[in-house]
Amino acid sequence: MKASKRALLDAPIANLLDFLLFYFMYSKLSPKLQDSFNSNVALRKIPTVKELDAFLDQQEAVARSRESQTSLSSGIAQSARKAHAQQYFHRPESPRNKSPIFMKHRPSPQLAFEKYPKPSFASLVFRAQRQALIDVVHDINGKRSSQLVRSLGLFIDPDTNLIRVCGRLTLSHQHQDTKHPMLLPTDHHLTRLIIDHSHHLNLHGGPKITLGHLRQRFWIVNGKEQVRRHLSKCNQCFQLKPIPFKPPMGKLPLSRTIPSSAFLSVGVDYAGPFLISSARLRGTATLKAYVVLFVCFSSKALHIEVATSLSTPAFIAAFRRFCDRRGNPQHVYSDNGSNFVGAAAELRHLQSLLSNPSHRSLTTTEASVHGTQWHFIPPRAPHFGGLWEASVKQTKRLLQVSMRGQRLDLESFQSLLIRIEAILNSRPIQDISPDASDDIEYLTPGHFLILRPLTAAPPNVPDPFELSVSPRGQYRHVKELALHFWKRWSREYLTSQQALQKWNKPDSRSPQVGQVVIILEDDLPPLSWKLGRISRLFPGPDEVSRVAEVRTPNGILCRPLRKLCPLPTQ
């Protein structure tokens, strides 16, 4: 260090400026490049600016060969760093500022992109053209007429040796660069850097704005497609219209594909609140009632209960009434309440109830007493419970049409719900064939409950005491009739579920652990959506992942892949 100070003090003024210039440019290098420079230069003597300049040129050539967009030693980034160093050391001309190295790095007072030192930037364009457009150069020099040369009137500028366009604006009063823009190759690193700079300079404008700004000086081969493809990888623009993962539609669970008794596997959901009166008298208090729906997985049969509050005891009481009337289910599926993200206060109360850990533990404990396993679908994934979500939609529609804003008392409200239950259990579970020759009696959930639709007229059967058939024969007849319905269910309904109604297009993007994603939130604007990193994937029975754990600054979230959008630059 003492030797360095002594050499600095004893050096003439030209070497002193070179010394300051060296340390300024050396400080702008990354630690990795500093170590690389130190390994290439003998440290027994003080390095010179000439050695550092040669090293920077070498790194610039390596960066162009790699064509890495994120490299800090790329062409334009290198020119920018040199230009900043030049501006910092710019001094008026004087007899003492005659160092050859200092004069080489004399700056231009303007550092805007359009006003980089022209020889340096022109050399970058020249190298890009010679690397990717060498065939065009041969066509122009050989006076061969290719389609690209004919359509753009390409020629080689004798002053700069750059390929320029000679189109229909030659006689206009535009700037020379606009009349004869420089030709840039389609997919080159320099082209991508220029597009990226123009895109940021125009405040992330669309492809038309960016391309219009670029054509004031450049002409990119297949420019529209190249600009559109490059802008699709902009993270800030992507956040306005993010595209989530699109995994294929999941396979049907086993409980929906095998014949079983009604309500052996069910899905449960809430609907409401609905305003009712405590009595039929005037001036009575207004109460809130909630509808609890249980949907059978195999037959799509519906059971409706009424809950007078959002408390856990009220839900457990409704669940006990369901078990006492329909039997104990083997599996119960429900959401955990986080998909109730509406702005209404009641929906927030419902969300807090269903996402409350104590409520979930008490519900699971109550179910385990009856030998029932309780399953919760992922948060913010209502499409995982599409079977009961569709029943909720149909029930709410019938309620709204029937009530018409009236406030019914509790007894009338329960009667209306039971009527709606009978109507929905009498609907066909598959599309009705327009062919009159087919069986007129369509299959309904009621066939698996009472062997006929609940809203149908009673069958015309003779008095059982007048029948000569024994009870065992009657039981055999009922069993055969139920078996007939299940055969029709397998032949007509189950086979109709084979096709993928949506989400059937393949997605080239596959989720990976460690991938950065945007987390879609229904109650926030797009620019407020958070970023996270996938920490775990949950493959399904078909080895396709549809749920992932995402690590965020506020903790770990579990989200469906339909709510995660991978950043395009990965």
The pLDDT of residue 451: 82
Residue whose C-alpha is closest to residue 400's, from 270, 272, 268, 267: 272
Look at 153-162, 235-244, 364-373, 403-412 and tell me which has the smallest mean pLDDT.
364-373
Number of H helices, E strands in the chain: 20, 14
Q: Which residues pair with 560 in a beta bridge?
A: 547
Residues 316, 390: Cα–Cα separation, whole Å: 23
How would you label 393-418 residue by residue, b for 16+ Cβ within 10 Å and e otherwise? eebbebbeeebeeeebbbeebbebbe
User: Which CATH code of 3.30.70, 1.10.340, 3.30.420, 1.10.357 fits the domain covering 121-232?
Assistant: 1.10.340
The pair of three-digit structure tokens given for residue 443, joined into one six-digit string: 């299959």
| Residue 409 DSSP class | B
The pLDDT of residue 116: 39
The pair of three-digit structure tokens given for residue 315, joined into one six-digit string: 């839900």
Regarding the domain delimited by 260-426, which CATH topology (the fold level of the hierarchy) does it fall under?
Answer: Nucleotidyltransferase; domain 5 (3.30.420)
The pLDDT of residue 418: 93
Tell me the per-residue pLDDT of 519-537, one tens digit each, with 9 for 90 and over. 998 888 888 899 999 999 9
The pLDDT of residue 291: 93
Residues 96, 173: Cα–Cα separation, whole Å: 44
Answer whether residue 543 shows pLDDT above 60: yes
Other CB atoms closer than 10 Å to residue 138's CB: what's the count?
Answer: 11
For 128, 208, 253, 300, 399, the CA distances from 395, given in Å and listed in that order, are: 66, 49, 24, 14, 6
Backbone angles phi, psi at 551, to 5 degrees: -90, 125
Residues 374, 360: Cα–Cα separation, whole Å: 9
The pair of three-digit structure tokens given for residue 322, joined into one six-digit string: 């369901």
What is the value of pTM for the model shown?
Answer: 0.63
Answer whether residue 96 shows pLDDT above 90: no
Q: Which residue has the higher pLDDT, 18 or 67?
A: 18
**At CA 568, angle to CA 530 and CA 249, rounded to 5?**
80
Residues 184, 181: Cα–Cα separation, whole Å: 9
Residue holding tokens 């399953």? Answer: 375
The pLDDT of residue 342: 35
| Residue 385 DSSP class | G
Answer whether residue 121 shows pLDDT above 90: no
Do 264 and 329 contact (CB within 8 A), yes or no?
A: yes
The stretch 315-331 carries a mean pLDDT of 88
Do 267 and 385 contact (CB within 8 A), yes or no?
A: yes
How would you label 230-242 residue by residue, b for 16+ Cβ within 10 Å and e otherwise? bbeebeebbbeeb
Answer whether residue 138 shows pLDDT above 70: yes
Backbone angles phi, psi at 181, to 5 degrees: -70, 155
Tell me the pLDDT band of 516, cut-offs 50, 70 and 90.
Answer: very high
The stretch 43-70 carries a mean pLDDT of 55
**Helix segments in 404-514, DSSP class H:** 410-424, 471-488
Q: Which residue has the higher pLDDT, 109 or 217?
A: 217
| Percent residues over pLDDT 90 in the chain | 21
Sign of the dihedral defined by the CA atoms of residues 232, 237, 241, 246, in that order:
positive
The pLDDT of residue 349: 57
The pLDDT of residue 80: 46
Q: Which residue has the higher pLDDT, 259 or 469?
A: 259
Do 558 and 549 contact (CB within 8 A), yes or no?
A: yes
Answer whether residue 381 shows pLDDT above 90: no
Tell me the per-residue pLDDT of 450-497, one tens digit each, with 9 for 90 and over. 888 888 877 766 555 555 556 677 677 777 877 888 888 888 888 888
The stretch 141-153 carries a mean pLDDT of 84
The pair of three-digit structure tokens given for residue 563, joined into one six-digit string: 């709510």
Q: Where do you find CATH 3.30.420.10 in the chain?
A: 260-426
Look at 80-94, 388-402, 404-418, 467-481 and tell me which has the smallest mean pLDDT.
80-94
Taking the chain, what is the end-to-end CA distance rounded to the nearest angstrom?
45
Look at 157-166, 402-411, 474-483, 543-552 and tell me which has the smallest mean pLDDT.
474-483
Answer whether the bond into residue 566 is a cis peptide, omega within 30°: no
Do 255 and 220 contact (CB within 8 A), yes or no?
A: no
The pLDDT of residue 227: 94
Look at 63-67, 210-214, 281-285, 550-554 and tell me which has the smallest mean pLDDT.
63-67
Q: Which residues pair with 537 in a beta bridge?
A: 548
The pLDDT of residue 1: 44
Answer whether residue 14 shows pLDDT above 60: no
The stretch 299-328 carries a mean pLDDT of 88
Q: Which residue has the higher pLDDT, 58 or 515?
A: 515
The stretch 353-377 carries a mean pLDDT of 69
Q: Where do you find CATH 1.10.340 in the chain?
A: 121-232
The pLDDT of residue 78: 53
Backbone angles phi, psi at 547, to 5 degrees: -135, 145
Do 400 and 392 contact (CB within 8 A), yes or no?
A: no
Q: Cα 105 from chain centroid?
A: 48
Q: What is the mean pLDDT of the chain?
A: 76
Quick one: angle between helices 118-132 and 75-88, nearest 10? 170
Tell me the per-residue pLDDT of 192-244, one tens digit each, with 9 for 90 and over. 999 999 999 999 988 999 999 999 999 999 999 999 999 988 888 888 889 89
The pair of three-digit structure tokens given for residue 216, joined into one six-digit string: 């004031």
Q: Which residues pair with 533 in a beta bridge?
A: 516, 551
Residues 225, 222: Cα–Cα separation, whole Å: 6
Do 256 and 490 contact (CB within 8 A), yes or no?
A: no
Answer whether residue 502 shows pLDDT above 90: no
Where are the strands (E) in 181-337, listed by range?
182-184, 218-220, 265-277, 286-296, 302-307, 331-334
Q: Which residues contact 542 (CB under 8 A, 6 or more apart)?
A: 250, 251
Other CB atoms closer than 10 Å to residue 317's CB: what's the count?
Answer: 15
Got the DSSP string for 59-85?
HHHHHHHHT-TT-TTSHHHHHHHHHHH
